[in-house]
Amino acid sequence: MTDIEPIAWTEGGYADPERDLDAASVAEMAHQSAHLLHQHGLRAGGRLAVVDGVGPSLPAVLGTLAAWSLGARVCVEPGDADVAFAPTGHALDADPARRVVRYGGDPPPDAIGFERHLWGENTVPPPESVGPETPAVDGVDHATVAAAARAVAAESDAEHVTIEGSIDGPAALVAACAVPVVAGRWVGPEGTPIDRERVERALDEASG
């Protein structure tokens, strides 16, 4: 287990105006999400493209944590990703080699609808093969992401954190998904914004 896998999240959770989900609930849903994504082709060493409409949405957080628990890396551009995780209605270039999982809205019956399929998934324990050197985002491993997240979290005692705008790169992924896990914070659409530039510096510093 690494420090940014969902099983490591023991305090805080996901909060929005409609409901709060504590860390244990989010971790369980992330493992269900991992099972769903695994069924549709995401494997250790693979790439999941998290296309976020307005961040940090719960599906985007779950998709990212699910990928990390599987030993897959997360990116934000579909490119050559094995699986794209995108909002319903978001246009993607056709690629027969890529599976697309849609979240939010009302996906058509022939689409892989995240919310529609999630509740039927089992909670599968994460694989034991995910180590600190496993890539978490393109070019950055789990250990580096965790170190950067801890450095950023240490500079603020805010209990609720957020990012402004969408999840559009490694810094936003770290802010929305890694900081809450390693620091036991609440993340959601409302909270103290995390400075993306500070996260980028922390990633550079942790990379050595």
- Summarised one tens digit per residue, pLDDT across range 20-33 is 999 999 999 999 99
pLDDT of 161 reads 94
| pTM recorded for the entire structure | 0.94
Considering the chain, what percentage of its residues have pLDDT values greater than 70?
Answer: 95
pLDDT higher than 70, residue 102? yes
SS3 of 35-83: the string is: HHHHHCCCCCCCEEEECCCCCCCHHHHHHHHHHHHHCCEEECCCCCCCE
Considering the chain, what percentage of its residues have pLDDT values greater than 90?
Answer: 70
Q: Which range among 59-63, 93-97, 132-136, 190-194 shows the weakest confidence by mean pLDDT? A: 93-97
pLDDT of 159 reads 95
pLDDT higher than 90, residue 205? yes
Structural domains in the chain, CATH included, are: 6-207 (3.40.50.12780)
Q: From the CB of residue 193, how many other CB atoms can be counted at a distance below 10 Å?
A: 12
* Nearby residues of 18 by Cβ (< 8 Å), 6 or more positions away: none
Instruction: Tell me the average pLDDT of the chain.
Output: 91
Helix (H, G, I), strand (E, B) or coil at 139: coil
Strand ranges, E, within the chain: 13-15, 20-22, 47-50, 73-75, 83-87, 99-103, 112-113, 135-137, 140-141, 160-162, 186-187, 192-193
Give dist(CA 61, CA 78) in Å, integer: 17
pLDDT of 124 reads 62
Mean pLDDT confidence for 168-172: 91
Question: pLDDT tens digit string along 104-119?
Answer: 888 888 889 999 888 7
pLDDT higher than 80, residue 140? yes
